[in-house]
């Protein structure tokens, strides 16, 4: 129980949502309340040059969407808060799914007008599967949207989880007056366009108090009383143990862009959310309180600072204490490594740290030693499990438009592939580069970054492949026969593993029938067991 106090202070969570629900705006307002930034920037307003703190890549600023997970840390109410802001767009779901392995709880942002959307359901499936505790923030209450009770029904049905409101909106759209905090019985009155923190909070011990009528008007006050009575009758009392087990989701209402309802969310989050949790490995479960350090890499980012061409591996500390300049065992490479400049983050702003504790996410400068899923320990040989890998769905050939920049293109694409945004397959003859992704938008991002970060001129040309399959076998003769017959559909991945690029489901099925001793793996995850 060596580092118990430091562990208890940590709160590490991810913010997830469908695109445009206001997730990055909410992240920024949490930072504002935490004192990590002084004024809020408008995320999507082109007239305002200041962009969201967590959207630091140039392409994110231009498009107004997040395409990479950002890591941010700040202190609030004697807690160390670690936020992982994730991409909402489905084309970048891989990054989000991997990030969910590194958090202990989640805040799910819902647009009050659009309700539950497809991407939200998929993300929630992952949370349910992992029993991750979820808090729901219903955003944009200052605009017209669905009725609050209808929204709660939709949340329960679509997300397959019980809900319990802990704040309740007074009106909506033009008639939005504020939120009543059911959890601590206080009223926060709304005023629009806040860019700094101002509070207009009134303690209301008794909802029947006539003072409420004077503050918000008789009719809204009466409606609020009726709705609160209905909530108490329909929804179970909030139970923290049920929340921690992932069985019930507390719901908050507000307007992130106006800093409204955010403080209630943050205060309650600090009180009820879990401290760092353990993780499973291929050997055993690891608990945060263990004396010896262990952690895993869930994300790699090249050129976080384009001026310095740096590459950073994001590591989640699972147990013990990480120390600067101490040697740790890189399990996959079977070698000892030490890190003179481990960093903590505020988006792209970094500061060197001496220690890190379970729940912390730290950046390790990397010269190419790390892959997503790698484990560091003080010597115990184990690998953390559950970091997903994905089979590409879209394939395009990367063509070099400037032969003088071949080295830059090669270095750039390999570094970006290491980040996990796509997979690379090299075809012979000619060293042809086939890139596979799960979404079309990823090609735009890769192209943009190759051009602007590496100075490489290139284009993508669509290829007609159905599936990339990694091949393993003990039957060398059958493998040779297969390679002879399918030489024009074979490639090597970045680790030189043999891959079959099947053109149709039928041709893949025929290959499996004709070569029964070959195993066709649909993802590269099997390599973790090698």
Q: What share of the chain is helix, strand, coil (3-state, %, to 5)?
A: 30, 30, 40
- Shared-domain flag, residues 411 and 444: yes
In a domain, 382, yes or no: no
- Shared-domain flag, residues 138 and 176: yes
> Which CATH number goes with the domain that contains 511?
3.30.70.3280
Question: What pLDDT was estimated at residue 442?
Answer: 77
- Shared-domain flag, residues 154 and 227: yes
- Shared-domain flag, residues 372 and 408: no
Helix H or strand E encompassing 70? strand 70-76
- Shared-domain flag, residues 316 and 420: no
- Shared-domain flag, residues 308 and 169: no
- Shared-domain flag, residues 348 and 439: no
Q: Which of 286, 301, 298, 456 is nearest to 380 (CA)?
A: 286
In a domain, 227, yes or no: yes
In a domain, 140, yes or no: yes
Crossing angle for the helix pair 148-159 and 218-234, to the nearest 10 degrees: 30
Q: If you search the block for the tokens 């992932």, which residue do you land on?
A: 246
Domain containing 331: what range?
Answer: 279-377
- Shared-domain flag, residues 255 and 294: no
Q: How many CA atoms lie within 13 A of 37 on its CB side?
A: 23
In a domain, 144, yes or no: yes
Do 131 and 103 form a contact (C-beta atoms < 8 A)? no
Cis status of the peptide bond prior to 429, with omega within 30 of 0:
yes
Question: What pLDDT was estimated at residue 369?
Answer: 87
In a domain, 182, yes or no: yes
Could you give phi then psi for residue 315, rounded to 5 degrees? -115, 130
- State the Cα–Cα distance between residues 407 and 409, nearest whole angstrom: 5
Query: Would you state the structure tokens that stand for residue 451, as one six-digit string?
Result: 């051009």
- Which residue, of 352, 377, 402, is where some domain finishes? 377
Q: Which of 185, 159, 143, 134 is nearest to 20 (CA)?
A: 143
Total domain count, the chain:
3
> Which CATH number goes with the domain that contains 303?
3.40.50.300
- State the Cα–Cα distance between residues 265 and 253, nearest whole angstrom: 9
Q: How many CA atoms lie within 13 A of 303 on its CB side?
A: 20
Do 82 and 11 form a contact (C-beta atoms < 8 A)? yes
- Shared-domain flag, residues 181 and 309: no
β partners of residue 76:
79
- Which residue, of 308, 343, 377, is where some domain finishes? 377
- Which residue, of 272, 287, 302, is where some domain finishes? 272
Q: Which of 282, 318, 277, 327 is nearest to 297 (CA)?
A: 318
Do 288 and 173 form a contact (C-beta atoms < 8 A)? no
Residue segments in the chain with a per-residue pLDDT below the cut of 70 = 1-2, 36-70, 87-95, 190-203, 205, 302-310, 345-350, 388-390, 524-530
- Shared-domain flag, residues 372 and 425: no
- Shared-domain flag, residues 329 and 417: no
- Where are the extended beta strands (E) located within 183-320? 186-189, 201-203, 248-253, 279-280, 285-286, 294-302, 311-319
Do 96 and 85 form a contact (C-beta atoms < 8 A)? no
Q: How many CA atoms lie within 13 A of 383 on its CB side?
A: 17
- Shared-domain flag, residues 202 and 267: yes
- State the Cα–Cα distance between residues 236 and 163, nearest whole angstrom: 8
Do 181 and 187 form a contact (C-beta atoms < 8 A)? yes
Instruction: Quick: pLDDT tens for 216-259.
Output: 888 888 999 999 999 999 998 899 999 999 999 999 999 988 88
In a domain, 387, yes or no: no
């Amino acid at each position: 129980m060596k580092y118990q106090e430091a562990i208890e202070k940590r709160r590490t969570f991810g913010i997830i949502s469908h695109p445009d629900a206001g997730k990055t705006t909410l992240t920024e307002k949490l930072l504002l309340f935490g004192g990590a930034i002084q004024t809020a920037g408008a995320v999507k307003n082109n007239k305002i040059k200041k962009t969201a703190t967590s959207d630091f890549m140039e392409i994110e600023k231009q498009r107004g969407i997040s395409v990479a997970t950002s890591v941010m840390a700040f202190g609030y109410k004697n807690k160390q808060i670690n936020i992982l802001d994730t991409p909402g767009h489905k084309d970048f779901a891989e990054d989000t799914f991997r990030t969910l392995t590194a958090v202990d709880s989640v805040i799910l942002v819902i647009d009050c007008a659009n309700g539950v959307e497809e991407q939200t359901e998929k993300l929630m499936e992952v949370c349910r599967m992992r029993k991750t505790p979820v808090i729901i923030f219903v955003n944009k209450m200052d605009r017209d949207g669905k009725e609050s009770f209808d929204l709660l029904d939709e949340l329960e049905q679509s997300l397959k989880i019980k809900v319990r409101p802990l704040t309740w909106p007074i009106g909506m759209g033009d008639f939005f007056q504020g939120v009543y905090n059911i959890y601590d019985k206080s009223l926060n009155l709304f005023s629009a366009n806040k860019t700094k923190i101002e509070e207009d909070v009134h303690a209301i011990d008794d909802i029947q108090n006539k003072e409420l009528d004077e503050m918000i008007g008789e009719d809204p006050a009466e409606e609020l009383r009726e709705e609160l009575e209905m909530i108490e009758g329909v929804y179970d009392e909030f139970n923290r143990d049920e929340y921690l087990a992932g069985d019930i989701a507390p719901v908050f209402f507000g307007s992130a862009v106006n800093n409204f309802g955010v403080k209630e969310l943050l205060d309650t989050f600090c009180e009820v959310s879990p401290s760092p949790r353990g993780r499973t490995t291929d050997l055993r479960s690891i608990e945060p309180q263990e004396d010896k350090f262990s952690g895993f890499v869930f994300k790699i980012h090249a050129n976080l600072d384009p001026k310095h061409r740096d590459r950073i591996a994001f590591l989640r500390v699972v147990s013990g204490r990480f120390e600067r300049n101490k040697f740790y065992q890189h399990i996959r490479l079977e070698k000892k490594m030490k890190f003179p400049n481990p960093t903590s983050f505020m988006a792209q702003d970094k500061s060197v740290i001496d220690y890190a504790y379970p729940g912390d996410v730290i950046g390790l400068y990397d010269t190419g030693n790390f892959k997503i899923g790698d484990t560091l320990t003080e010597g115990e040989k184990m690998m953390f499990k559950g970091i997903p890998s994905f089979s590409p769905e879209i394939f395009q050939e990367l063509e070099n438009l400037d032969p003088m920049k071949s080295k830059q293109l090669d270095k750039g694409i390999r570094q970006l592939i290491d980040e996990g945004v796509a997979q690379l397959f090299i075809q012979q003859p000619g060293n042809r580069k086939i890139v596979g992704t799960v979404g079309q938008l990823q090609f735009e991002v890769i192209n943009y970054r190759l051009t602007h970060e590496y100075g490489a001129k290139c284009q993508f040309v669509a290829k007609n492949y159905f599936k990339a399959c990694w091949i393993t076998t003990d039957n060398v003769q059958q493998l040779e026969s297969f390679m002879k017959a399918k030489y024009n559909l074979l490639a090597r991945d970045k680790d030189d593993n043999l891959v079959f690029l099947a053109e149709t489901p039928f041709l893949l099925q025929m290959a499996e029938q004709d070569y029964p001793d070959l195993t066709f793996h649909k993802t590269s995850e099997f390599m973790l067991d090698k």
